[in-house]
Chains A and B, each alone.
Chain A
Amino acid sequence: DQQVKQNSPSLSVQEGRISILNCDYTNSMFDYFLWYKKYPAEGPTFLISISSIKDKNEDGRFTVFLNKSAKHLSLHIVPSQPGDSAVYFCAARESNYGQNFVFGPGTRLSVLP
């Protein structure tokens, strides 16, 4: 059973608009969350993180929102740019359980010019 789910395998957005990528998790003990971006033939690169003591974290065009009661987080990209086209992975960790991150299956974002 997947502990971290990204139910949208793909998403297309027009350049300049907002991209919203969603992630749901089942383990209520998860307390730290990351978003990674992956281009073809490259390894995932870290994008933004949030700990469970916060409900929002911003970094430039990227904002992550965490709703602990719903076990849901989302990544907002505003404005979206063609260079944002990539696969986005959500990852979660239970800090008391060591360094194991559980990754979601990813969402492929296409930003159309």
Chain B
Amino acid sequence: DAGVIQSPRHEVTEMGQEVTLRCKPISGHDYLFWYRQTMMRGLELLIYFNNNVPIDDSGMPEDRFSAKMPNASFSTLKIQPSEPRDSAVYFCASSWASGYNEQFFGPGTRLTVL
């Protein structure tokens, strides 16, 4: 298995532009997570899905952020409009259902908003 795939690996954009980050989870995993890592706040959970349904989006910073999972093999995290303070590394992770299961992380997308 190729593991969790994220694209793009790097994104540089200007303030006000729309940004879309993409994730393909490991096949067969029931849960998908979006995290953001910054120097100030460390690794924080933004939202997670179970069987394509958003379960907890309490970590989404504000309405400019939205996430979708149209099917079991694809998810997007969108920021519109983007701001310089959104600059961070965004990780996607997936895991099997319930039980004591670890999450498998993708390589991350480094976002820079100028």
**Which A residues are closer than 8 A to B by beta carbons?**
32, 34, 36, 41-46, 49, 51, 89, 98-106
Contacts and interface: CB of A to CB of B under 8 A. Distances in A.
Nearest to B102: A46
B104 A99 contact: no
Nearest to B104: A46
B100 A103 contact: no
A43 B13 CA distance: 22
Interface of B: 4, 31, 33, 35, 42-45, 48, 50, 55-56, 91, 93, 95, 100, 102-108
19 contacts: A41-B107, A42-B107, A42-B108, A43-B4, A43-B91, A44-B43, A44-B91, A45-B105, A46-B103, A49-B100, A49-B102, A98-B48, A100-B56, A103-B42, A103-B43, A103-B44, A103-B45, A104-B42, A106-B42
A103 B107 CA distance: 17
- Counting chain B CB atoms within 10 Å of each CB, which of A45, A46, A99 scores highest? A99
